[in-house]
Amino acid sequence: MDLMIPHRRQVLSSDLWVTYFERNARAATSEDFKPPATRDLPPEVRRVLAASLRAWQLGETSDGRHLRAAARQYAIAQNDPRFLEAVDLFIKEEQRHGAALGDWLDRVGIARKAWDPGDSLFRACRYAIPNYVIWASVVVMVEAMAEIYYASVRRIVPCVRLQSECDRILRDEVRHIQFQCEHIATVRRRVPKILRMGIRVIELGFYTVVCAAVYLAHGRVMNYAGLTLGKFITAAAGKFRHLQRAMNPDGYIFPGERAVPVWADERTAVH
């Protein structure tokens, strides 16, 4: 019989997440050289970005007060005081994204936004959610949309500086989603599987609303990048499947647990 080890990933401790965010912050601030911003953008690219990128930049500038309040309650419930430190570093990383995008907008002569209806609606939703896990499940949906959006921006803009900022944001979003999903899975491992199925249905409904809102507000950027509505739906569906796998507690090894080996003939046996 062949011994097979299930493909389960170890949940990272808050200590490791603090180390990661600190290292990432040092890497970001150690970049002494940044390529100049290309001010002479093609008129259509400038129009498309001026109508869209400013809203995403505004969304990256939250002070994080409500997140900290929800995270504090979560840290107490999980007996994990260093989680708050990790969340603080996560917030600062998001704010660095906002600062970098804002700096680029300034350099190319596109005025920043002080208010945006989509951003205000999303902030209102976040402020109404005192529970960290529910908050995180909403945020990862938006971060999945951010992955699609910034990839589109990178494809259309002929500016090395903004391309490099998009690359950094896309790299960071991968870890942000992992960070949030691990903690969602940590709580959901105590939820019966039948209830998890119900949660998945609710999340699919909310995710559909998020996707529709993002495409209505920023579809021009995606279309300009070659991402038609059909391709957007396909990409968004793939992101949702990834999120569901990442939030599924069955895919993790939690602190204090050990991976249980499964014998190959047991996996294929007919019961």
In a domain, 224, yes or no: yes
What is the rounded average pLDDT of the residues 152-158?
96
In a domain, 75, yes or no: yes
Whole-number Å distance between alpha carbons of 91 and 87: 6
pLDDT tens for each residue of 181-240 = 999 999 999 999 999 999 999 999 999 999 999 999 999 999 999 999 999 999 999 999
pLDDT of residue 189: 94
In a domain, 260, yes or no: no
- Give the tokens for residue 226: 């070659």
Listing DSSP states for 86-103 in one string gives HHHHHHHHHHHHHHHHHH
In a domain, 266, yes or no: no
Structural domain that includes position 56: 14-28+36-254
Residue 144 pLDDT > 80: yes
* Three-state SS at 4: strand
pLDDT of residue 33: 57
Mean pLDDT, rounded, of the chain: 88
- In this structure, the strands spanning 9-10 and 252-253 are parallel
In a domain, 8, yes or no: no
Percentage with pLDDT > 70 across the chain: 90
Whole-number Å distance between alpha carbons of 34 and 114: 26
In a domain, 9, yes or no: no
Which pLDDT band holds residue 265 (cuts at 50, 70, 90)?
very low
In a domain, 18, yes or no: yes
Residue 127 pLDDT > 80: no
Whole-number Å distance between alpha carbons of 6 and 10: 12
What is the rounded average pLDDT of the residues 262-267?
38
pLDDT of residue 29: 75
In a domain, 129, yes or no: yes
Q: What is the CATH number of the domain that holds 204?
A: 1.10.620.20
What is the rounded average pLDDT of the residues 106-114?
91
Residue 268 pLDDT > 50: no
- Give the tokens for residue 72: 């504090």
CB-CB contact of 135 with 129 (8 Å): yes
Q: How many domains does the chain have?
A: 1
Residue 262 pLDDT > 80: no
